[in-house]
Amino acid sequence: MKTSPSSVRILAGYPDKNASLFKRIGVPLGDPAAWIEIDSRRIALVRDLEMDRVVQMSHADDVTCPAEHAPPFGLSADRETATAQAVTQLLRSSKVEEVIADRSLPYIYAWHLQQAEISVRYDDTLGVIDRRQKTHQEIEGLVKAQHTTEEVMRILCERVAKCSVDSDGFLVHDHSELTCEWLRSMAAVEFMQRGFSMGHGAICATAPHVADCHHPGKGKIRTCVPVIIDLFPRDDSTRLWGDCTRTVVHGEPSDTVKAMHKAVLAAKSASTDKLRLGNTGDTVHKAAEDTLLKHGYAISRGAITDEPSIQHGTGHGIGLDVHEPILLDHGGGELLENEVFTIEPGLYGRAHGGVRVEDMLVVTACEPRNLNRLHDGLNWET
C-alpha cells in the first residue's frame, strides 16, 4: 500500500516574474510553471515546449508537463488553470494530503488544491532563506552587475560635473539644458548597450523634488546643488541586480551640503562596521541612524521637510530581486553568511537638496566584502 509523503513543498507561478521559482526552474519562463518537492524528489512541471530547456538548466529529478497529469475530466484550455489542475492531479496520485507553500503561491493553485481536499500550510521561510544566502556563483554575478552599474554611474556623474552653465545657473550639455529626465534616458541607453535593463527605472533627482527620497527626479539641474543618482539595473544574462547611489555637485557645494555629505559617509562607515555575523539588521540600521542623529539631523519618516532629515532605513537585501528580505531597519533580523545588502544612508530636504551614498556588501565570517570600487565624493570633474 502506497503511503502518504511526509513532506511536500510547492512553488508556482511565472518564473520570469517569481524569482524563487526561477531559482529552481533555471529558465525565466513566461508561461505558468510549478516546482514540487515530495520528500527528496524534485519535480518541475512546465509547458511541454520548455521541458528540454528545463532539463538542462534545473536540478529537477523529474521534468514533466500538464498533459502528463490530466485529471479525468481533462485539462482547461487556459494554461494557468491547466497547470493548477495538473499540479493537483500529480499530488493526488502521490496521495498527498497537505502541501507547504511559500508567500508567493497564486490563489488559483491554493483553490484547486483545496477543492481536492489537499490542505495548504504557509511557511514564511520557504523561498526566502535559500535566496538570502547567496552561492559563490550568485555573488560573482552580483559583482559583475555592480561593476557595470558603477561604469554607467561614472559616466552620468562626470557628465553632470563637466557641464557648462547658462546665465540663470542651470546646467547645459551640447547646447541644451541638462535635465533629470535626460540623465535617466542616458542611463537606459548605456545599460542597454551592456545587456542590462532598467525595469524599475532610476533616480536622478535634485532640489526640490529630492526632498521626497524616492522621487525619480524632474526638470532642470542647477549648479552648486547636489544631484542624487541611484541606478538599479538588472543583468539580463543572470537576472541579478546592481544597485548603487552616488551624489554629484557641479561646482562648489555649500557648507550645508558638505556637512550633510560628511554625516552620510560617517553613517555608512558606522553601519558597514556592524554588518557582521552575530549582528542584526536592526543593529546595522541603528548604527547609521544614531550617527546621523549625533550630527544634528532629525528623523522625518513619512514626512517631506525643508531642512535635511532622515527619511528611510539603512538598506535591504538584493539578488534576483532588487529588494529582498531582510531590511537593514528597525526590527531587522539576524544576518546570515553570504547575504548581500545595500547600505545607503541619506539626508533630504527641499531647501538644500539631498545626499545619499550606497554600496553593496557581502556578509562574511570576518569584515564585510564591499563590491563597490567607485569613489563616494561629491566632486566628479576628474
Residue listed under C-alpha cell 491547466: 82
* Structural domain boundaries in the chain: 8-127, 132-370
Write the pLDDT tens digit of every residue in 239-279. 999 999 999 999 999 999 999 999 999 999 999 999 999 99
Q: 231 with 149: CB under 8 angstroms? A: yes
Residue 284: is its pLDDT beyond 90? yes
Specify the CATH number of the domain 8-127.
Answer: 3.40.350.10
pTM of the model: 0.95
| pLDDT at residue 2 is higher than 70 | no
**pLDDT, tens digit (0-9, with 9 covering 90-100), for 313-330:** 999 999 999 999 999 999
Question: Mean pLDDT throughout 128-154?
Answer: 97
What is the number of residues in the chain?
382
Question: Average pLDDT, stretch 189-214?
Answer: 97
What ranges make up the beta strands (E) of 159-238? 164-165, 171-173, 176-177, 196-197, 202-206, 227-231, 234-235
pLDDT in tens, 145-193: 999 999 999 999 999 999 999 999 999 998 899 999 999 999 999 999 9
Q: When comparing pLDDT for 365 and 185, which is higher?
A: 185
Report residue 1's pLDDT band, with 50, 70 and 90 as the boundaries: very low
C-alpha cell, 13: 507561478
CA dist 130 and 35 (Å) reads 15
Note the pLDDT of residue 3: 57
**Other CB atoms within 10 Å distance of the CB of residue 111:** 13
Q: In a 3-state reduction of DSSP, which class is residue 23?
A: helix
Q: What angle do CA 240, 242, 246 make, to 5 degrees?
A: 175
Give the pLDDT confidence of 74-99 residue by residue, as tens digits.
999 999 999 999 999 999 999 999 99
pLDDT over threshold 70, residue 143: yes
> In Å, how far from its chain's centre is CA 98?
32
pLDDT of residue 320: 98
Residue 214, class by beta-carbon neighbours within 10 Å (0-12 exposed, 13-18 middle, 19+ buried)?
exposed
Asked, as a colleague might, if the bond just before 326 is cis with ω within 30 of 0, I would say yes
Residue 35 reports pLDDT greater than 60: yes
Residue appearing with cell numbers 528597525: 330
What's the CATH number for 132-370?
A: 3.90.230.10
